[in-house]
Amino acid sequence: MSARRSATDGTIRLLTGLLIAWLLTGCAGRELATRDEPGALSIDRAVILAEAKRSLGIPYRVGGTSERGLDCSGLVQRAYARAGIRVPRTSRAQFEALPRVDEARPGDLLFFATGGGRKASHVGIYLGDGEMIHAPGRGRRVTRTSLALDYWHERFLGAAAPAP
């Protein structure tokens, strides 16, 4: 009886460990995967990236959509408008409405849950080479950021591709 109980206890511990590992993996979110194809940008994507680059250095402003100040979704809306593509105003609405992709290409949108929950609260434009352009928050300016930081991987929700 003792050997059977020991085997049962071992099986239960193994299954419990596997369940915990599976749950922790689910908490980590989606994998932040990118795909760079040099020379394969559509005109729309080139225009979006050019506008995002022109926005570098603009100060952060909640609700901002102009040279005077931009928030993250305002940056996206402005860059996509330059290419003639309409997107919703907020990062949450953009995340809910736009077509998802498994791998981000330059010009695609990257969504993050930075507010402590699991809803989209931040968005950036994938630049290529493992970087994004985004409006990071109060007191800062539109900037380029490396996606290699654990901060982004831990908060990543998904990518969307509204541009052809």
Active site residue 27: no
Catalytic residue of the set 105, 134, 157, 162 = 134
Q: Which of 72, 75, 76, 142 is catalytic?
A: 72
Catalytic residue among 122, 123, 156, 162: 122
**Whether 72 is catalytic:** yes
Locate 7 and state its tokens: 């085997």
CA-to-CA dists, residue 160 to 22, 30, 55, 90, 151, angstroms? 26, 13, 21, 14, 20
**Contact between 144 and 79 (Cβ < 8 Å):** no
- What does DSSP assign to residue 89? S
The helix (run of H) or strand (run of E) holding residue 119 is none
Active site residue 153: no
Catalytic residues: 72, 122, 134
